[in-house]
Amino acid sequence: MAKEKSKKSQLSKEKMLHMHRLMLDIRNFDSRVNHLVKKGVIPGMTHFSIGEEAANVGAIAAINAGSDLITSNHRGHGQSIALEIDLNGMMAEIMGKATGTCKGKGGSMHIADLDGGNLGANGIVGGGMGMAVGAALTQKMKKTGNIVLCCFGDGACNEGTFHETLNMASIWKLPVIFYSINNMYGISTPIKDVINVDYNYQRACAYGIPGHFIEDGNDLLAVYNKFEEIVQYVREGNGPVLVETVTYRWLGHSTSDPGKYRTKKEVDEWKKKDPIDRFKNWLLENKVATAKEIEALENASLAAVEESEKFALSSPEPTLESAFEDIFADYFFSASIK
């Protein structure tokens, strides 16, 4: 970590401040959603990215927004925000409103932004892996030069689809990064209890692909710098990569989690490794930004989240008719001769 901190970054000030802003947006957005769940304003199931901001922003900031693609998982708020989804639409979606990203039909676990390159969060653990491989197949067949970042948790590595998709991506040399954001628990089950290797990235050798480990997933620049390397390798047509980082979710698995499987001490220890505080201090220590500039970012982020809440609260409910819409795409039946 110290090594990464002292490393001279090639990043522009503008990009670094923007990454900080995205981490703030994740923190503020999810804090607000959590508050609204407790107030009963948000009825549905939500999973928070608080604590995992650097793991999300560091990786996604290294791909080309607008042309590269991601697949996300049930804990996808952080990934959607890192790919700069419209916060108003996302908050409205989580409130189930007609103006939501998915017209109120998807909710927290199905946030998608196809125009922005987000092929969607997924309510099925490992559900995005096949989709990511297929999206990467399209990039290869159409020779677009774009890559796919497939985000999932440590728990997904024990799904059968992990094995099948890594193997398929490997034999076809597809441009896809399999990214395991290891927050150490699958709901309550410690990952150490359900795998017999130290880390899932070590499984990469079984598929003949590189496995990378970013030990400190709360160090934004460590994540970003490693991802820059990996993205270049994959974009050059060398095939897929498995990469894992370790981070921690501060809150429960979802909004109904008594948290009996971990100690307060453990949670507090991780809060001391707050990715946002750490990057803020780094920016100040390295004189990248002034306290005033950072405060302005913090205020702007809070204002944007507040605005999203206002937008969502004042948005209409979907019509009942809309429940029967959007099941099928239009059929283009170009000719018909019986």
Partner 1 sequence: MENNRKIMSVRDAIILAMSEEMRRDENVFLMGEDVGIFGGDFATSVGMIEEFGKERVRDTPISENAISGAAIGAAMTGMRPIVDVTFMDFIVYMMDNIVNQAAKTRYMFGGKGQIPVVFRAAAGGGVGSAAQHSQSLEAWFTHIPGLKVIAPGTPADVKGLLKAAIRDNNPVIFLEYKAQYNMKGEVPLDPDFLLPIGKADIKKVGKDVTVITYGRMLERVIQAANEVEEAEGVSVEVVDLRTLAPLDKEAVIESVKKTGKVLLVNDAHKTGGFIGEVAAMIAESDAFDYLDGRILRLAGEDVPIPYNQTLEAAMIPNVERIKKYILKLVNNR
Binding site for partner 1 (CB under 8 A): 69, 71, 100-106, 110, 112, 114, 119-120, 122-124, 127, 129-139, 141-142, 160-161, 164-165, 167-168, 171, 325-338
Strands 241-246 and 176-182, by their bridges, are: parallel
Closer residue to partner 1, CB minimum distance, 94 or 297: 94
CB of 258 to partner 1, least distance (A): 28
**Cα–Cα distance measured from residue 168 to residue 207, given in angstroms and rounded to the nearest whole number:** 9
- Residue from 207, 219, 125 nearest 166 by CA: 207
Closer residue to partner 1, CB minimum distance, 303 or 323: 323
**Cα–Cα distance measured from residue 210 to residue 201, given in angstroms and rounded to the nearest whole number:** 9
Closer residue to partner 1, CB minimum distance, 260 or 328: 328
CB of 205 to partner 1, least distance (A): 18
Closer residue to partner 1, CB minimum distance, 256 or 328: 328
Please answer whether residues 92 and 44 qualify as being in contact, where contact means their C-beta atoms are separated by less than 8 angstroms. Answer: no
CB of 338 to partner 1, least distance (A): 7
* Residues in contact with 180: Cβ distance below 8 Å, sequence separation at least 6, in sequence order: 152, 153, 154, 156, 157, 200, 201, 242, 243, 244, 245
**Cα–Cα distance measured from residue 225 to residue 231, given in angstroms and rounded to the nearest whole number:** 10
CB of 96 to partner 1, least distance (A): 11
CB of 163 to partner 1, least distance (A): 8
Closer residue to partner 1, CB minimum distance, 40 or 160: 160
Closer residue to partner 1, CB minimum distance, 8 or 338: 338
CB of 336 to partner 1, least distance (A): 5
Q: Please give the helix or strand (H or E) that residue 15 lies within, else none.
A: helix 13-38
Burial 191-216 (b: 16+ CB within 10 A, else e): beeebeeebbbebbeebebbbbbbeb
